[in-house]
């Protein structure tokens, strides 16, 4: 072989080698490609602990998709969908659930049919679940406030007609400070619904932002305010529920006290005695009753034109600057009541309410134990009734039971005790709600006379007062004297284990 032939063979071999190398380089630079990328909509996701999300990865596999695997940090991940084997493009969707606060990652590794692999990493930011939520606007659609959380009322918050607010057991609702039109109130408008369903183990607490109680305290069985005394009042508004049941007023519908007339959510009254505003069970309302005008405060629980389709059971009101519970017409009944340190009346009725309050304890009101007002107009539908209760008068009470002349109310099975030794009728009594008014422990007994009051037990305090003085005007064999806490009527402290009044010892301290 001559030199010329050898050079030709060598040149040919070099050309073949060059072509092979060139083909290999093309595979690495795009002619045969396996590529995995995180979809733009799945980048930099933010999750709360326990939340789940679907993350999408885009796949290009020139020689065909074979398989994929996934690994997760600070969470769990599974592949929920992927391309068919042999597909040259598609998406892999990974479901990721966050475990704990911090950074989380999801790494997807894809292999093609030649055994070549590629991967991509999606980053996730995980934060603790928000447990304190500011409520700054009216509630216009169905909403749930969840167990374990605190909700701050940033002013007057109305649940508007057609919406349902569900408050789960153990929730804490706190009102910001404010007076007048700026008072923090939770208002349930007509045709709205409140389902506040606490339990004896996890009651719902309505209180002030100054109160340091948290849902964790309730879960641990500690129901009292940890930093506020049980006589601190006026720090926020209260709970107002309005309905479409009949009222005796100058018009079929009127504006509830405490809500500006410019807010139509404050209207109440109608022609449906069976109207339902929802279900309210095991709630404690405390430190409320802020001023809304000269000499005008918000009640702990206000019920305006509420129908008997509404269920209200087990309500505690502590340290409210005005009344504990006040009814303005309507038909709703309430059972299981504790009123402790009301600044004014324990239980107050107006505008021809004809429901029943039963199984109640009133402790140390600053006004009257009962303020029982008759209808304001011609409407008189029957009687409203109080059954099976205890009134511990305390030192600051005005009247024990205050009827007016046209009151359609009966008070039955009531134990009364605990007034001061100097208590009795006093004319022109300084410091009472009206200095020109005569202080009468029992005022206008029986009201209009159509609704009997029966079976009152009492224990005299001593110090100069006697039954004839304290119970002047009470007639018809209603009264029976008993020894201290030897009563046979009224509930006991043990019936209210879920209340602050019980846990603090306030009820056992007065012998209940």
The more confident residue out of 93 and 433 is 93
- Say which residues have a Cβ less than 8 Å from residue 56's Cβ, sequence separation at least 6: 38, 39, 41, 42, 91, 92, 93, 94
CA 102 and chain centroid, separation: 31
- Whether the per-residue pLDDT at 22 is higher than 60: the answer is no
What would the pLDDT profile of 144-158 be if each residue is shown by its tens digit? 999 999 999 999 999
What would the pLDDT profile of 382-411 be if each residue is shown by its tens digit? 999 999 999 999 999 999 999 999 999 999
What would the pLDDT profile of 47-69 be if each residue is shown by its tens digit? 889 899 999 999 999 999 999 99
3-state helix, strand, coil in the chain (%, to 5): 10, 40, 50
CA proximity to 337, closest of 382, 303, 307: 303
What would the pLDDT profile of 227-264 be if each residue is shown by its tens digit? 999 999 999 999 999 999 999 987 778 999 878 888 99
Q: Following DSSP, what letter does each residue of 72-115 receive, concatenated?
A: EESEEEEEEE-PPTT-SEEEEEEEEEE-SSEEEEEEEEEEETTS
Q: Are strands 102-112 and 65-73 parallel, antiparallel or unpaired?
A: antiparallel
Q: In the beta sheet, which residues pair with residue 175?
A: 153, 208
Range in 121-125, 128-132, 224-228, 500-504 the model is least confident about: 128-132
Q: Is the dihedral of CA 490, 491, 493, 499 positive or negative?
A: negative
The fold of 34-127 is: Immunoglobulin-like (2.60.40)
Residue 216 per-residue DSSP state: H
Domain regions of the chain by residue span: 34-127, 132-509
Q: How far apart are CA 303 and CA 327, in angstroms?
A: 5
pLDDT for position 253 = 84
pLDDT bin (cut points 50, 70, 90) of residue 463 is low
Phi (first) and psi of residue 197, to 5 degrees: -110, 80
pLDDT for position 395 = 92
- Whether the per-residue pLDDT at 5 is higher than 70: the answer is no
pLDDT bin (cut points 50, 70, 90) of residue 8 is very low
Look-up of token digits 């107006």: 350
CA proximity to 248, closest of 206, 305, 286: 305
pLDDT bin (cut points 50, 70, 90) of residue 295 is low
Q: How far apart are CA 125 and CA 357, in angstroms?
A: 53
pLDDT for position 10 = 36
Residue 228, class by beta-carbon neighbours within 10 Å (0-12 exposed, 13-18 middle, 19+ buried)?
Answer: buried
């Amino acid at each position: 072989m001559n030199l010329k032939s050898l050079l030709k063979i060598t040149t040919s071999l070099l050309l073949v080698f060059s072509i092979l190398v060139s083909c290999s380089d093309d595979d690495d630079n795009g002619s045969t490609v396996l590529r995995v990328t995180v979809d733009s909509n799945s980048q930099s996701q933010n999750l709360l602990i326990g939340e789940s999300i679907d993350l999408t990865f885009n796949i290009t596999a020139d020689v065909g998709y074979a398989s994929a695997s996934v690994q997760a940090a600070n969470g769990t991940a599974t592949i929920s969908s992927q391309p068919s084997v042999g597909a040259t493009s598609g998406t892999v969707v990974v479901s990721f659930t966050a475990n704990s606060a911090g950074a989380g990652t999801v790494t997807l590794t894809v292999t093609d049919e030649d055994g070549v692999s590629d991967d991509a990493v999606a980053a996730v930011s995980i934060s603790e679940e928000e447990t304190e939520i500011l409520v700054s606007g009216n509630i216009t659609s169905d909403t749930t406030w969840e167990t374990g959380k605190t909700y701050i009322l940033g002013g007057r918050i109305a649940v508007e007609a057609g919406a349902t607010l569900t408050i789960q057991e153990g929730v804490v609702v706190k009102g910001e400070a404010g007076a007048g039109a700026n008072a923090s109130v939770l208002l349930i408008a007509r045709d709205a619904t409140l389902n506040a369903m606490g339990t004896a183990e996890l009651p719902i607490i309505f209180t002030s932002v100054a109160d340091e109680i948290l849902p964790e305290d309730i879960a641990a069985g500690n129901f009292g305010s940890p930093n506020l005394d049980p006589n601190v009042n006026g720090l926020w508004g209260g709970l107002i529920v309005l309905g479409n049941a009949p009222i005796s007023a100058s018009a079929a519908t009127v504006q509830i006290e405490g809500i500006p007339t410019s807010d139509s959510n404050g209207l109440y009254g109608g022609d449906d005695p069976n109207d339902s505003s929802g279900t309210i069970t095991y709630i404690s309302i405390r430190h409320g009753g802020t001023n809304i005008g000269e000499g005008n405060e918000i009640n702990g629980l206000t019920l305006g034109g509420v129908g008997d389709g509404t269920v209200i059971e087990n309500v505690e009101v502590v340290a409210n600057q005005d009344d504990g519970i006040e009814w303005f017409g309507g038909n709703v009944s309430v059972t299981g009541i504790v009123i402790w340190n009301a600044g004014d009346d324990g239980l107050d009725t107006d505008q021809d309410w004809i429901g029943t309050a039963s199984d109640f304890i009133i402790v140390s009101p600053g006004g009257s134990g009962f303020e029982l007002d008759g209808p304001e107009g011609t409407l008189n539908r029957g009687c409203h009734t109080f059954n099976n209760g205890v009134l511990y008068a305390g030192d600051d009470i005005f009247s024990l039971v205050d009827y007016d002349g046209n009151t359609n109310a009966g008070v039955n099975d009531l134990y009364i005790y605990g007034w001061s030794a100097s208590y009795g009728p006093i004319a022109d009594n300084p410091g009472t709600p009206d200095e020109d008014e005569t202080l009468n422990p029992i005022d206008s007994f029986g009201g209009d006379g159509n609704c009997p009051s029966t079976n009152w037990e009492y224990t005299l305090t001593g110090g100069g007062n006697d039954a004839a003085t304290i119970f002047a005007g009470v007639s018809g064999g209603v009264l029976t004297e008993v020894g201290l806490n030897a009563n046979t009527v009224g509930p006991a402290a043990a019936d209210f284990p879920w209340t602050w009044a019980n846990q603090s010892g306030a009820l056992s301290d007065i012998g209940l």
